[in-house]
Each structure stands twice: as structure tokens, then as C-alpha cells.
Chain A
Amino acid sequence: MNLSEKISIEKSVPGRRGLVFAKAAKPASAYLPAGALRKAPPRLPEMGEFEVVRHYTRLSRLNFCLDTHLYPLGSCTMKYNPRANEEIAALDGFAGAHPCAPDSAVQGTLEVLHRLEKLLCELTGLAAFTLQPAAGAHGEFTGILVAAAYHRSRKDRKRVEILVADSSHGTNPASAALGGFSVRTVASRPDGRLDMEALKAALGPQTAMVMLTVPNTLGLFEGQIRQIADAAHAAGALLYMDGANFNALLGLAKPADFGVDILHLNLHKSFSTPHGGGGPGSGPVGVAAALEKFLPVPRIAEKGGTFALQAKAAGSIGRMRSFAGNTGVAIKAYAYLRGHGAETLRSIAENAILNANYARAKLKDLFPPAVDEPCMHECVLRTEPEKTNGLKTLDVAKRLLDHGFYAPTIYFPLIVHEAIMIEPTETETKETLDAFVAALRAIHAEALADPEKVHAAPHTLPVKRLDELGAARNPNVAWG
């Protein structure tokens, strides 16, 4: 096992070539003014093709990934990424389609996108979807602009505030601010749910929207979601659902039935498309019928079995990015959903919930849950450093890596002290969960017997704990 790899520029040898192309009939200097031409070549590595393949293959082996390790990152839904989806999205007909091709030349792609929109409508009960947003946060921003356009259309200009829960993802307030709204945080109750009284006190003629994650980031269903929706609507505000945790509802419940007006989904979470080390994602936004006209352009239209990409739509908030969206990701999500029938859909959420509760039940005596009751697709536990020789959540995360598991999400949600947020997903076996539970229990025992070993973890990875403060103080972000 290699434990380190030089950076590519350090392997560069002047004159060494990888891909070689035909020579142009005439050089660029024959066509372009000398002043526009590059004086010095860019400092890129000079490597042979085989060296490049070996370099990145060796680099890849320094990673934990879903294919090699349980990756129980809470709120990230690291479920199996089916290979059939990859093969389908890579079909030449799909991958080679130019975004400015006329509709007649891309009927296959448009049909997939249209069908996916309809499936997402059915899963959520909402009237219409846009597939344009490139990621969850981009979807949130889209939804916020839709809400702004809705209030503007009603000449209701006093609605300048968005309410978010104190357990919300950081993207919620960041997206709200980007849309020009001020943000007010609403507290959660000790049982992890939004405090209805605090919400009602905060709602008013200045409230544009309430943003909630369902299930919330403690992995709990907001049982009062209908009352929350009613209260928001009574105050003239809209209800936004952050659908990052939609995996828990897939095949079980439709957010439209909760009273949700706008939501985004993450195709790279609930719909099995790979995360690629940080992206690409896709964050479709669904809306209730009254808000459809505000959705971004382009929209996909269908008439008599023929599909069209419409660049303009009256009332639309406009365009959120270039072209149609992350089409390649959407195709994978479509392939995933077509593998399921109505009868297996609900098994997605059920097994996700089963796995999270199993992990919770097997760990809660050593790692107390933030709220001690059954959870949905993820459970939030805690470490208790004062009882365990100072075993902190960060130590558990690092030591888990030595035990052969990627770490859960840690220190989130912010309202839980020393939080460990575990989302196993439905695609993990009982055997894997048993091994994960055994590792966590072993780490707890290690903390009591040999605390130094845990505090200094990881011991078996390519690097030891890294100096993050030093990295931020003297940033070295490029080889220069």
C-alpha cells in the first residue's frame, strides 16, 4: 500500500509527452496578433500517459470511498451508486448532446428530463419541478428567489425576513442572505423539533418564508409540520422544505401533503448519483401549482409526445446558470427511479430508517442520543468527554478511520454538544452495521484503557492529524 504520492508537477520531466495531437496546418501566430499570444507556456506537468494513469490511480488509493468503506456521513446519504446509471448517462447519444442543439436533435434527452420531472412530482405531490439547479444550495437559492417573486407579484414588499431553524444546514441562512433576505433563527425544543410558540412569535407581516429540513437534522420527523405550514400560511408566508433528507420519505410520504410550497431535492443524495469527491450534484426544485410560473428558465414542455426546451416564460425568475442543468446527473437519477416499482420505492425509506435505528439501539448506552426516541434515516448521538477520559467526537471520528470506517458527520447540528450524526443508508448490510457498532464500542473501551491512543488517532492512514491552523495561517493553495 502506497502511503504518499508526489504531486504531479514534481514528476514532470521537460520534453516528456502524454497525448500528442496532429499538427495544425498553420500556427496560431499566422492568424492572431502577436500581442495576444502567450509569452510563456503554462506550468503544467509534462508526463507520459502511463505516468498519468499510474499517478492518479495511486492517488485514488489514498481515499476512503463508498465502494471501499462504510461512509455514514449524516445528511449526505452515501448510498450505493449503481453502475448501470453510470453506463446509461455515458451513452454517446446522451453524453454527446450539445446544449444548443435544436429540440428535434435531442428528443431523447428532453424526454428523460421531462419524465424525471414527472416522477419527482409524483414522489413529492408537488405540481412542477425544475431540474436547473446544480446542487442543493443552488436549489435553495432558486426557491428563495421564487418566494421573492411570489411576494413581489402580490405587491407585498414588506416580507424581508426568512425564518430558519437553529438546527438547519448552513446553506439555508447563506442562501436566504444571497436572495436579499434577513435571517431570523427559530429555536428547537429539547425534543429536537421546532418550537411552535417561538415560531408563532417570530411570524409576522415581515416573514417571507419559513425554511425547514424534514426530517430535521437530528433525524427526527417534524410531527407538527402541518401546523407549522398552517401557521406560516396564516401569516402570509410560504413554507420551504430542505429536502436533503428526503431519503427518509421516499415512498412513504409526499411533502405536498405537509403543506410544503417549495422544496429542493438532492439527486446526489436520495437518488443515488455519486458525489464524486464533492460534486457534481443536482438540486431540482419543486413547487405548488401557484408558484410554477416563477420557476427558472429554461423549462421543458411536452406536446403530443414532442418535447421542447423553452428559453422564455412569463413570470419566471430567470436563469440560474447556463444551459439546462446538470443533465448527466439527472439521467442517472432517472435510471435509478426506473429500477424501482411502486412496491420497492417504500423499501428505500423503510430500510434507511431501519438501519439508522439499529445503529442507534446498539450504541445508545455508550453514546447517548441527542433525543432518546426512534429516529428516521439518521441518528444523532453524543460523546461524553467528561465521563470517558476526554474522548471527544473528533477523536472518535479519527479513530474510526483506523478501524476501517469513514467518519460520520461531526459537530452538526450545531445545537447538539459533541454531535455524531450517523446515516448508514438502506444499502448497508446488517453485518457491516454490526462491525461499525463493534468499532465504536471498541473505541469507547480504548478511551477508558488507553486514552492517548485515541487522542492521537489516526495511526494507520497515509497521514497523521493535519495542521489545519497552519494551513489557514500561511495558505499554500497552488504550486506557483
Chain B
Amino acid sequence: MTYSPHTSNDRAEMLRAIGVSSMDELLAQIPAELRAGGYDWPAALPEPERMAHARALAAKNRALACFAGAGAYDHHVPAAVKALVQRGEFLTAYTPYQAEASQGTLQAIYEFQSSVCALYGMDASNASLYDGATALAEAATAAARITGRKKILLPESLHPEWRDTLKTYFGARGEPVLETIPCPSGRLEPAEVERRLDDTVAAVVVATPNFFGLLEDGAGIAERAHAKGALLIAAADPVSLGVLEAPGKWGADIAVGEGQGLGNALNYGGPYLGLFACQKAHMRHIPGRICGMTTDAEGKRGFVLTLQAREQHIRRERAASNICSNEALCALAATIHLALLGPEGLKEVAELCVDKAHRLAEKACAVPGFRLRFEGPFFHEFVLECPVPAERVRNALLKEGLLAGVPLGRFDKALKNSLLVCATETRTDGEIDRYAAALGRVSK
């Protein structure tokens, strides 16, 4: 197979126009000793065979009723979202460098930024970042720049992979400095935060709902952070904001989130969608592309990439971030998803999540030996304490076609018997009943 359209006649004509006698003459730029000798390569698969090969591989993955969350959620992806993001006009365009010929993408980015601001209660946002974890890393960088301070307080109730990502991001440079706050109760204690706050702290990070699904006292922590001149960075699941108060309303200065749950499939971890929004005062510290509304030479409304003096292609080593490509198509999916749902649809989804997760928790805890590990209100996810190692529970339920959750022992040995369990609107009452019944068989 080749996607090159040239016939041998085309090639001959083109070589003649270039003024060379052969392709080899054109390739003489590469010294002979640097040319590849050969490739150990499998035989080409024509499209029918390639599709069959792919289907066979996909069939090696198991279809399971998904009760796992941990930052990746099995929400319904509307058919209209899937159809629209496959339109070539969106799918096969590049970053909108030529604004006049990219108004569709640019206006969609403006609508995306607006939707993110509406959800998080913020004034400004960008065209997206890679995922929630890297969005938090960018927020931490911005907070350090804004405050001129060097320390970031991270709660243990934040996703461990997000904490690890920040460690990697800042480890080599040595700043900002990360300090982890233990959360033995599964939640961040405002007093614990207060004890660590001083004039070196750039920002306190609060995830709510947090990694364990619990709601944090965001307002209480924000108040304490602000009293010491630190910023509050909130990490929040955007679907939860269908019912939960917007971070901007309870005191967050910067908000980030993993946007996968807005119209994007699970895809084994990516592509996902990093959300970033902030109060107006911090707009010039936003990383990545930003779309702005403007007018054209005749006064007509239009959209452009703006505030580009922050970016790597202008500022190089002094840029706010090194990001270039982002997750534009995932952001488009989220934008269309939110337009399809509207405020009422998003609230319905969020309420279904809360209701199903709580009914599942109740049924699970009715099985002898199982209980909730932590107390406190939760959104659509909770930590189920098992009478046996959580991996055993997970493996037992796998045999019944259920992905029971995420065993937490791999993140923290003390949580060996803890299973992080999630129910979204896509889980049926029948599946919830099967889950509880299967737990009953494990405990015996």
C-alpha cells in the first residue's frame, strides 16, 4: 500500500522538472554511509486484512461493566459528538495559524473556553492541555510565577499519578518545591494546611471530589491559603460541577480538571483533555493557545489566537510553557457534549452519578465484611474496604464480567484491602445488583 498518488510517469516528469536524472541523485544529500541498509519489517496488510488484524487485537480486550474511575470515567458519549468530531473540516485541520481560514476551529475554541469558564466559575481559559495531571503541573508553574514563591502544597488525597507527574516535572529543575500533606482521613484537614502555610507557599492544591471520591472543604482551605498570600489551585471533575459549586465561587484562583468525561472515550488513558481556567488577574500566565474574539478590517466579528507573547514560538526559553500541540479535538468533543447536554442535561448526569454511586455503596456495604474506608460526602466514587486484598475482589469480579474498581495497594501498601469504586450514569441497576451479589460470593 502507499498513499502516494504518483505514477511512474508523474515521477519521471517531476524529476525532469527538478533537473535531476533520478531519485537517487535527489537523495545524494544523505551521505551513503548514513542510508539504512534494510528494515526487518512485517508484510504489508491491505485494508481488509488490516481491519481483520485490528479487530482480532481489539477482541483480546475484555468487554466489562466498568466500575473503575480513578480519573478516567465511563460516561455516555453522545452519537452526535462522535459524528461531528469525525468531520474532516475539524479532524484534518491544524492549529489555526491562518485565522481567516480557520474560523470554525477558532470559534469552537472560544466556545470551549467559555464553557470551561462557566463550569469552573472562572474568567479565562485556554484551548486545552494534555490531561489533568499536566494541567496541574502548568497551574503550579503559573502559581509560582504569579506569587514569586517556590513551594506547592499537595494533598495526599490528590490522584497519585498527578502527584508523580508534578514530581517528574519539577524534579530536575528543583522548583517549585513540592510538599505533600498526609490525609489519613481521606481528606485534607484545614488545620494541617494552616500548619504548613508560610510566606514561601505559592499555592495549595485541593482536589474536590478528591482521588478517593470525597468532597473537600475547599472554601475553608482557600480562606487559609489567601490569608497567607498563597493561591488556591482547585482540581475538579467537570461532570461533578453539574451539581457541585464552581471552584471560582468558593475561592479558587486557578482551576484544573481532567475533561475526558465530557464526550471522550476511555481509550486506555488517552487522548484525554487537560482543563485550565483562572481568574482574570492571572490571564497572562495561562499556558498554551488562547483564542480571543476580535474584529476584522470591516468591523465584523472574528476569532484569533491571542496573547501569543507568552508562547514558545515567540519567547523560546522564556516562554510560560513549552506546550505547542494540545488536545483540540478532545476539547471540541467536550464543547459539543456540553452544548448537547446544556446545564440541565449535565445536572441530570451528575445526579445519576451521585445516586447510583450511593446506592452501590449502600448495597456493597450491606455485604458482610465490606464497609466504607472513609467517612464524608462523596460524588460518584468511594473507597470500599474489603475483608480480603482488593486485588482478589477485583479478580473474582472480573470472572463475572465486572471491572470492580481500582485496587489501591499499588499506590499505598496501607490501602491493600481498599478498592476505589465508581458508578456513573452508564451503570444499570442490574449491573449494580450483580456487583453486590458478586461481592457476597467473595466474602464467602
| Nearest Cβ on chain A to B168's Cβ, whole angstroms | 4
Which of A46, A82, A357 contacts B342 (CB under 8 A)? Answer: A46
Contact across chains for A322 and B131 when beta carbons are under 8 A apart: yes
Which of A94, A272, A412 contacts B61 (CB under 8 A)? Answer: A94
The complex places the Cα of A438 from the Cα of B403 at a distance, in Å, of 59
A304 within 8 Å of B (CB atoms)? no
Which of A21, A63, A322, A341 contacts B269 (CB under 8 A)? Answer: A322
| Nearest Cβ on chain B to A373's Cβ, whole angstroms | 8
Which of A37, A46, A225 contacts B244 (CB under 8 A)? Answer: A37
Q: Give 27 CB contacts A-B under 8 Å.
A: A27-B351, A31-B354, A33-B377, A44-B118, A52-B336, A63-B89, A63-B104, A65-B89, A98-B64, A135-B326, A137-B324, A138-B323, A170-B312, A171-B313, A183-B317, A223-B31, A275-B93, A276-B93, A276-B330, A277-B94, A280-B329, A321-B165, A322-B165, A354-B15, A374-B20, A426-B4, A475-B306
Interface size on A, residues (CB 8 A): 206
B184 within 8 Å of A (CB atoms)? no
Given known A65-B89, A97-B266, contact A279–B307 (CB-CB < 8 A): no
| Nearest Cβ on chain B to A214's Cβ, whole angstroms | 10
The complex places the Cα of A82 from the Cα of B102 at a distance, in Å, of 22
The complex places the Cα of A148 from the Cα of B114 at a distance, in Å, of 39
In the complex, what residue of chain B is closest to A135 when comparing beta carbons?
A: B325
Collect the chain B residues with CB atoms within 8 Å of residue A343's CB: 44
- A5, A174, A347 — most chain B CB neighbours (10 Å): A174
Contact across chains for A32 and B215 when beta carbons are under 8 A apart: yes
In residues 357-401 of chain B, which contact A (Cβ within 8 Å)? 358-359, 377, 379, 394-395, 398
In residues 282-328 of chain A, which contact B (Cβ within 8 Å)? 282, 296, 311, 317-328
Contact across chains for B168 and A65 when beta carbons are under 8 A apart: no
| Nearest Cβ on chain A to B287's Cβ, whole angstroms | 10
Q: Which 5 A-B pairs have the closest CB atoms?
A: A323-B269, A276-B329, A93-B58, A67-B88, A180-B173
Collect the chain A residues with CB atoms within 8 Å of residue B72's CB: 98-100, 323
In residues 382-417 of chain A, which contact B (Cβ within 8 Å)? 397-398, 401, 406-407, 409, 412
Collect the chain B residues with CB atoms within 8 Å of residue A182's CB: 317
In residues 153-197 of chain A, which contact B (Cβ within 8 Å)? 169-171, 173-180, 182-183
- Could you say which of A54-62, A199-207, A232-240 contacts chain B? A54-62
The complex places the Cα of A282 from the Cα of B113 at a distance, in Å, of 23
A79 within 8 Å of B (CB atoms)? yes
Collect the chain A residues with CB atoms within 8 Å of residue B350's CB: 28
In residues 253-270 of chain A, which contact B (Cβ within 8 Å)? 253-254, 257-258, 268
Which of B95, B297, B316 contacts A278 (CB under 8 A)? Answer: B95
Contact across chains for A42 and B406 when beta carbons are under 8 A apart: no
| Nearest Cβ on chain A to B140's Cβ, whole angstroms | 12
In residues 278-328 of chain B, which contact A (Cβ within 8 Å)? 283, 289-298, 300-304, 306-309, 311-319, 321-328
